[in-house]
Structure 1
Amino acid sequence: MQALMMDRPLLVSAILDHAAAYHGDTEVVSAEAGGRRSRTTYAALARRAAQLAHALDEMRLGSGDRVATLAWNSARHLELYYGVGGSGRVCHTINPRLFKEQIAFIIQHAEDRALFVEPGFLPILEAIADQLPKTCRIVVLCGADDLPTSETLPALTAYEDLIVGRPEAYDWPSLDENTACALCYTSGTTGDPKGVLYSHRSTVLHAMAIGWPDALGVSAADTVCPVVPMFHVNAWGLPYAVPMMGAKLVMPGPNLDGASLARLFDEEGVTMSAGVPTIWMALTAHMEKEGARFQKLKRVAVGGSAMPPALTSRMNALGVEVRHAWGMTETSPVGLASAPKAKHAGHSDEERLALVAKQGRPLFGMEFRVEGADGGDVARDGKSFGALLVRGPWVASRYFGRDAESPNFRPDGWFETGDVVTMDADGYVQIVDRTKDVVKSGGEWISSIDLENIAVGHPAVAEAAVVARADEKWGERPVLFLVLKPGTEKPGVEDIKAFYDGKVARWCVPDDVRFVDDLPHTATGKLRKTDIRKLV
């Protein structure tokens, strides 16, 4: 028997309509270069997204055509999310921190028909002008008075000129909810970047899920600042979840240093934020240096790489709860979140930190397996290692334009994440390492993440990285690279080794400790282990 319920498609345009209708006066604030801030509302943003959709129609961009962005977090970028995706096109966010060769590859592979770019990112396009598609129109996210000139790029159009005077209402199409609405490429640390094509259905379901209290937790009473860029996995879905829930949205723009974020958070009353550990490291260091505490900030979500427990403790001391989450470009991205359960209420500070350090337990809708070397499931005891597999309604089924090149997508429907993890009886997952980063010494696995987290707990250490070096006797041994905090006295190698006493088995302690001025990072803020291995 079929149920007697209405069948309404899940579409991103419905999120915008809802925000405009029921949270229309809620602010969207954009921080800009030079300390300026612009202000709008969800109602006004919906009108401008409609004007953009009309402009795209006039540009004769068809359903499914890719419209690329090179932009910081801003209200204009948000208009693109909805005006492009809501009208049946695909909003293709490009990471400007990638190598220019990767950006050229991405634009060509996606076959972008239009490219909306911040003025500050025009030099990137000028450097690859001869590699841009001939039919790709370039629109600069600025007003007519601020439109720059370029000798190498074709005629540029100012965004405000493009949308001005157009109707402020748009008949958003009633699309099949499995229609594509967004495209994001992986950072390409192994081979060329790979495209993940998100549907309206997957995007809306993911936005609903991350709004749950046990996920990132967003409500209409919040003021949310996504520090994670909108060009990085759709800012973890927050540009969809925050309007859906009706929270005030604060866009940080290009100003991501500790002092700028602290000022923005306090002056706009930010209660919740999200970003990678390097952001929180800089912000915490600034607050400690100033002897300051946040006025409103209560919690932050962290992902992208493991958050050192020592940094979590420092943020807790500032009155901020840390919520670890896990995800990948292929998973939209959030699949795990480390919210505690009722049984954890009486835990000690040490036990609570150990729980928060885990990447979290599965959100409803996401299925996880931890597979051993024999192909069977490993014990859910929080100790046994295995490869993490995932499937769910907001997980990619293959890469865009690469049907024959997707070995991580299994025929049985599981996606191989490349993470080595443990899982406990409650489903809490802890990443031991990336499959390619684990140190295999004497037949045993050594977690580079564990060694890095311990090292960052040393009072002189700002950042740490562990990679393997070949060893004739043991196969591999860990090498520890350290960046020291400014103004601290350099500790001795034996002092660093002694810091591991009682924290790991003696055979896990790095034999080789090296001090460096800085460490290379990927475009998304992760340690670039491929480059660090070259230093061994």
Structure 2
Amino acid sequence: MDCTTNENAALFFVDRHLAEGRGDKIAFREADGARRALSYAGLAEQTARFAGALARAGVRREERVALVIRDQIEFPVAFWGALKAGAIPVPINTLLATEIYANILEDSRASLLVLSEELWDTLRPALEGNRHLRAVVVIGARRDGCETYTGFMAGAPAAAVAEACGDELAFWLYSSGSTGTPKGVRHVHSALKATCDTFAAQVLGISEADTVFSAAKMFFAYGLGNAMSFPMSVGAGTVLLAGRPTPEAVAGVLKDHRPTLFCGVPTLYAAMLHAQEAAGRRPEHCLRLCTSAGEALPREIGERWQALWGAEIVDGVGSTEMLHIFLSNRPSDIVYGTSGVAVPGYEVRLVGEDGQDVADGEVGELLVRGPSSAEGYWNRRDKSRATFAGHWTRTGDKYERTEGGRYVYCGRADDMFKVSGIWLSPFEVEQALVAHPAVLEAAVVPRKTADGLEKPAAFIVLKPGTDPAVVEELKEFVKARVGMWKYPRWIDIVEELPKTATGKIQRFRLRMVS
């Protein structure tokens, strides 16, 4: 190894806290299920035994360990335990279909799978014919051909932390699939601390006194940072919710467990606002700050939330490829409807189709460089070359920069389309729609007229009790807010919008039916 010290991330995030006197402090507390708690000392001990159990099961260094685990105590044990063993943990979305699980398990060539028992019925058919899995560990009751998590851990020796360099591969994440098939994104050990030193420390100002609750789950980049690496970087605590983060469930966690930092997504903020406003009372909480990512936060939602909850939402932009947020608003310096400025430690630029930087007020693709960039995609050489251009990572997001230096989201590169020869931002029209008191959610995609021209079409979710006749009023409402040519020529009322598990709207699915 070229590095002179062991830079395995588990040493900093787990074992360091014992030496610094935080062993008795609660690291993770469950808000549902068995409502268990795990101290930093308990985490250090259990992760060492998980590493030992992997070695006993024949899992070798750099082999993949697939984790299809709900947000429960076993998740951090398995993740950091795999790192301690020198294996590669691969957290996987817990809300996928059987066919997609089969594809990811085949693609990753994981040799061992750990899953929550609630997901067994969905996972079981995906295991048939898999050529790579040598063992399946179920957290819960025994299943045919599997080992229980309790049995897997029983009597396992505590293993030493495997030596690793900061640039060595540590874990994979699979992209959310908002534009198609999930891709395996490979990250190195040093990337985890890099996101903590930048966004967590310099924007959130996270401290040991904080308690974090992330409605966004730990299986994807935003939730992994929120609920695990960020609080563990300073010895803070995390509240875990294994079940669905419904507005009622989340409000209950905020009231009962009193977190100081709450991490959500725009869809959830909108739903919680509607529920709270309908209830007609102010919420109970101890929040000092909230974060939002996954989709751009509409200005209307941010302003209403802050007015009702008395806590700012720091809206930011991140990606699986960059591991967490690299462009963000900041506490006490928030302009809702924008994505703020570059997080300290990152650089961003906007380029046109010719690859040259665009001027303020012009739309360009967002490129970013910083210390948490992924090593590349697994088995996607062409895609890696297209996305990772030297130090710069292409985000696929279209933005414009204001004269004041703030960045305003316009849409995904493949979501933008021209109307009357002018580029149209679906997000701008969506913001106008959700500003109407009758609209809960909105998504805009192109639809062709009879003569083959593309015009905006909107799919909307109305608030309960709304008269569908509001559609014609909405067209005039949008015209008045963003311009005559941008209004949606068609407005389809739907019960829900197709989304990834991270809350991103899957506009490609709407384009297929538009």
* Residue number among 293, 309, 316 corresponding to 2:299 in the alignment: 309
Where in structure 1 are there 5+ consecutive unaligned residues? 345-351
SS at match of 2:386: coil
* Letter of the structure 1 residue corresponding to residue 24 of structure 2: D
Q: Look up the match of 1:171.
A: 160
* Letter of the structure 2 residue corresponding to residue 25 of structure 1: D
Percent identity for Structure 1 against Structure 2: 29
Q: Look up the match of 1:137.
A: 135
When residues 235 and 398 of structure 1 are mapped into structure 2, their CA distance, relative to the original with a 3 A threshold, is same
Q: Look up the match of 1:208.
A: 197
* Letter of the structure 2 residue corresponding to residue 231 of structure 1: F
Q: Contact 1:326/1:360 (CA < 8 Å) preserved in 2?
A: no
**1:367 positional shift:** 2.1
CA distance in 1, matches of 2:19, 2:269: 35
Q: Look up the match of 1:224.
A: 212
* Residue number among 361, 364, 383 corresponding to 2:341 in the alignment: 361
CA distance in 2, matches of 1:526, 1:69: 22
**1:61 positional shift:** 1.1
Alignment of 1:93-492 (within 5 A): 93-142=91-140, 147-150=141-144, 155-167=145-157, 169-214=158-203, 216-233=204-221, 235-238=223-226, 239-290=228-279, 291-316=281-306, 317-339=308-330, 355-379=335-359, 381=360, 383-409=361-387, 411-424=389-402, 427-471=405-449, 475-492=453-470
* Residue number among 8, 11, 14 corresponding to 2:9 in the alignment: 11
* Letter of the structure 1 residue corresponding to residue 214 of structure 2: P
When residues 325 and 528 of structure 1 are mapped into structure 2, their CA distance, relative to the original with a 3 A threshold, is same
CA distance in 1, matches of 2:242, 2:366: 35
* Letter of the structure 1 residue corresponding to residue 44 of structure 2: A
CA distance in 1, matches of 2:244, 2:443: 26
Q: Contact 2:114/2:139 (CA < 8 Å) preserved in 1?
A: yes
SS at match of 2:282: coil
Q: Look up the match of 2:49.
A: 51
When residues 394 and 492 of structure 1 are mapped into structure 2, their CA distance, relative to the original with a 3 A threshold, is same
TM superposition score normalised by structure 2: 0.93
**1:149 positional shift:** 2.9
**1:113 positional shift:** 0.8
When residues 247 and 414 of structure 1 are mapped into structure 2, their CA distance, relative to the original with a 3 A threshold, is same
* Letter of the structure 2 residue corresponding to residue 193 of structure 1: P
CA distance in 2, matches of 1:527, 1:390: 23
Q: Residues 404-447 of structure 1, C-alpha deviation per residue, up to 9 Å, x if partnerless?
A: 44342355443221111012356432210111111311111111
* Letter of the structure 2 residue corresponding to residue 192 of structure 1: T
CA distance in 2, matches of 1:318, 1:399: 40
CA distance in 2, matches of 1:21, 1:438: 52
| Greater Cα offset, 515-524 or 63-72 | 515-524
SS at match of 1:138: strand
Q: Contact 1:460/1:491 (CA < 8 Å) preserved in 2?
A: no
**1:452 positional shift:** 0.7
CA distance in 2, matches of 1:524, 1:301: 14
1:514 correspondence with 2:492: yes
Q: Contact 1:258/1:283 (CA < 8 Å) preserved in 2?
A: yes
SS at match of 2:371: coil
Q: Residues 480-502 of structure 1, C-alpha deviation per residue, up to 9 Å, x if partnerless?
A: 12111112233433311221244
When residues 251 and 128 of structure 1 are mapped into structure 2, their CA distance, relative to the original with a 3 A threshold, is same
When residues 301 and 156 of structure 1 are mapped into structure 2, their CA distance, relative to the original with a 3 A threshold, is same
Residue-pair matches, total: 507
Where in structure 2 are there 5+ consecutive unaligned residues? none
